């Protein structure tokens, strides 16, 4: 591939997941001649941080922020965030707008100066009728706020991976880790974005039309309240776009980059 065509993609996972969930997309992008960085956020995937140490979003997002800070002054990356990974993208765009060529929100939380994390989380939670066999953990005591959340196998199968190949569901059941929730109390200030910085970066939203956990209706609501520069739709995909429709997602990523 012509060296001028090479892009640097940075792939960010969602809640309970890790870098592992990007294995198909990372392989396809590298095969096409691109540079790919796949990160584990704190207490996720292979990251060694313990769940009780993640008391704030700053700690949770530290691996991505350290990576962005390490980039050369003239280097720009294509940031791709899935699900809750959209929060990581939003904060990275606010802190390092000059280092992001385009941010791709893949059926993801997309913040704006007028749409904060709490507003999106409340809407998503209202949509979920039942957490099924998922676990809510209260490590600080039952009278305190929950400290972590973990998707259960049945929840994964019926609401996140319902159209994804079964072997990827098996992989997920083996690899998911609890997602820290005790950081939410101070998250609004830490995840605040501005028109001047976040708003200066080109944004693309990738809609998954068969998503159950973050349905198209909520994705379209975020798009309407915070219009990106471009909207792409991947048809026939559940929430796990990168595993359900990896080739279609790669085509989208190459087009927008």
Residues annotated catalytic, as ranges: 83, 211, 239
CA 231 to CA 77: how far, in whole Å?
Answer: 19
Tokens at 7, concatenated: 């892009």
Tokens at 194, concatenated: 């501005």
CA 70 to CA 72: how far, in whole Å?
Answer: 7
For residues 220 and 212, the answer to whether their CB atoms sit within 8 Å is no
Return the axis-axis angle of helices 23-31 and 246-256, rounded to nearest 10°: 50
Contacts of 201 (CB under 8 A, 6+ apart): 93, 97, 100, 102, 103
């Amino acid at each position: 591939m012509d060296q001028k065509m090479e892009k640097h993609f940075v792939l960010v996972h969602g809640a309970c997941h890790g870098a592992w969930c990007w294995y198909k997309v990372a392989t396809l992008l590298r095969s096409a001649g691109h540079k790919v960085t796949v990160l584990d956020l704190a207490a996720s995937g292979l990251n060694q941080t313990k769940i009780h140490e993640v008391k704030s979003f700053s700690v949770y997002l530290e691996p991505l922020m350290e990576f962005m800070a390490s980039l050369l002054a003239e280097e720009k990356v294509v940031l791709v965030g899935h699900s809750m990974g959209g929060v990581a993208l939003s904060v990275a765009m606010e802190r390092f707008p000059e280092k992001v060529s385009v941010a791709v929100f893949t059926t993801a939380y997309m913040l704006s100066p007028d749409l904060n994390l709490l507003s999106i989380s409340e809407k998503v939670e209202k949509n979920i009728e039942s957490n099924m066999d998922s676990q809510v953990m209260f490590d600080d005591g039952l009278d305190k706020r929950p400290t972590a959340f973990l998707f259960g196998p049945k929840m994964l199968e019926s609401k996140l991976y319902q159209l994804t190949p079964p072997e990827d569901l098996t992989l997920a059941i083996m690899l998911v880790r609890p997602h820290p929730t005790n950081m939410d109390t101070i998250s609004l200030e830490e995840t605040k974005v501005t028109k001047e910085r976040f708003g200066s970066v080109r944004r693309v939203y990738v809609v998954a039309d068969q998503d159950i956990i973050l349905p198209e209706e909520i994705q379209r609501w975020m798009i309407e309240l915070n219009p990106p520069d471009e909207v792409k739709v991947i048809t026939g995909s559940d929430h796990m776009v990168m595993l359900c429709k990896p080739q279609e997602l790669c085509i989208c990523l190459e087009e927008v980059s």
